[in-house]
Structure 1
Amino acid sequence: MPAYHSEIEEFQRKVGNMAILPLRTKVRGPAPSINTDNDIIDESLYYFKANVFFRTYEVKSEVDRVLIYITLYITECLKRLERCTSKEQGQQDLFSMAIAKFDLPGDAGFPLNSVYAKPENPDLMREYLLQLRQETGNRLLEKVFDTTDGKPNKWWISFAKRKFMEKSLSGPGDRF
């Protein structure tokens, strides 16, 4: 069974070899804001539990590269959320993680330099990834803490130990 790929086919801009896709967001950044039921972050969250089991992933488009990055970022978020006892604590942790210094494609610490091209405009790439990280964290938080007792959902947290494509956005020794 193959991994799930994004169903989004059209995009206007790209940075490096990643598509800059419209997002349903209020977070400022280079991605245009749209009013739709489904964007790349929704797709990434929807396919996450299935895709995280794959060791390989065939990249079919620039949109798939965005899906891969978001999937890896969701894993890092879940690692953080497994230590949180409340939604408020999770929100603070995910926000600080989103804005913390992170490697871009082409940097020595970036885990998938073979899949991503070094961006011609690193500032645009950083702004776009920052926007993706913040919005992904916000939406994931709503899913993980969608419980009656206010505790994290164990079915989401159980995926914190998984590694999509045997990769991690955190370097060796980094502990999110």
Structure 2
Amino acid sequence: MPAYNSDFNSDPNPPRLIGNFPLLPLRTKTRGPAYVLPFPSPPLPAHESPEIESESYDILDEVLRLFRANTFFRNFEIKGPADRLLVYGIWFVSDCLQKIKPNASARDAGKEVNNLALDLNFAIPGDPGFPLNQMYEPPRDRQDAEQLKLYMAQVRQELASRLLARVYEEDESKPSKWWLSFTKRKFMGKSL
């Protein structure tokens, strides 16, 4: 059985690419270069995603929806640019879950995960420390590299806040054991 690919690969409006990494629109309040999608009306709780058909549904909702299913796969066939962002998002969510201790409150976990998300010392495609550089093209120039880094930082911050809302959906004093059960799994045997 193959891993689940992104539904955004079939989007009729091709995304802007830096290298071959897509800059897809996001539903976010975090500052950055991404085109901002409208928020659902009426507003949803932080731990819920809009329906897939909704104009508010974005790639980060898909990352969180497919994370648990895709973490079991060691191989992943890239079928479009959105898959590259999906893979990166799954790796980042995995790193975030490793920062959450089984007895940590939402506040303590928030500090750890947000520190990871806000840390600007991370590798982008083309950097020697980036996993699977053979699947990602490096940015053309320094300006594109800066734009990509800003976009990836925006993705990391938004993913961190959405993940925390889901992990602490039921109880703010302890994380969901169901989410933490995936801390030992490495998608494609790699991590960021």
Q: TM-score, normalised by structure 1?
A: 0.91
1:14 matched residue in structure 2: 17
2:33 matched residue in structure 1: 30
Distance in 2 separating the partners of 1:161 and 1:27: 29
How far residue 95 of structure 1 moved from its aligned partner, in angstroms, is 1.5
The superposition leaves residues 39-62 of structure 1 with CA deviations (integer Å, 9 ceiling, x where unpaired) of 100001001100000001000111
1:4 matched residue in structure 2: 4
Distance in 2 separating the partners of 1:106 and 1:140: 27
Distance in 1 separating the partners of 2:37 and 2:103: 31
Counterpart contact for 1:82–1:160, Cα < 8 Å = no
The superposition leaves residues 60-116 of structure 1 with CA deviations (integer Å, 9 ceiling, x where unpaired) of 111100000000000000000135611111222112111211011111111110111
Distance in 1 separating the partners of 2:101 and 2:185: 13
Distance in 1 separating the partners of 2:170 and 2:188: 30
Candidates 120, 123, 139, aligned match of 2:146: 123
The superposition leaves residues 102-140 of structure 1 with CA deviations (integer Å, 9 ceiling, x where unpaired) of 011111111110111111211011001100000000000
Counterpart contact for 2:93–2:160, Cα < 8 Å = yes
Counterpart contact for 2:105–2:172, Cα < 8 Å = no
Distance in 2 separating the partners of 1:148 and 1:110: 35
The residue identity in structure 2 corresponding to 1:31 is A
Structure 2: 5+ residue stretches without partners = 39-54
Distance in 2 separating the partners of 1:123 and 1:83: 36
Candidates 99, 104, 128, aligned match of 2:124: 104
Judged with a 3 Å threshold, the aligned counterparts in structure 2 of structure 1 residues 84 and 111 are, in CA distance, closer, same or farther, namely farther
SS of residue matched to 1:160? coil
Distance in 1 separating the partners of 2:166 and 2:34: 23
Percentage of pairs with the same residue: 44
Distance in 1 separating the partners of 2:71 and 2:160: 17
2:79 matched residue in structure 1: 60
Higher radius of gyration, 1 or 2: 2
How far residue 12 of structure 1 moved from its aligned partner, in angstroms, is 3.4
2:41 matched residue in structure 1: none
2:167 matched residue in structure 1: 144
Quote the RMSD (CA, aligned, Å). 1.3
Matches within 5 A, 1:51-90: 51-82=70-101, 85-90=104-109
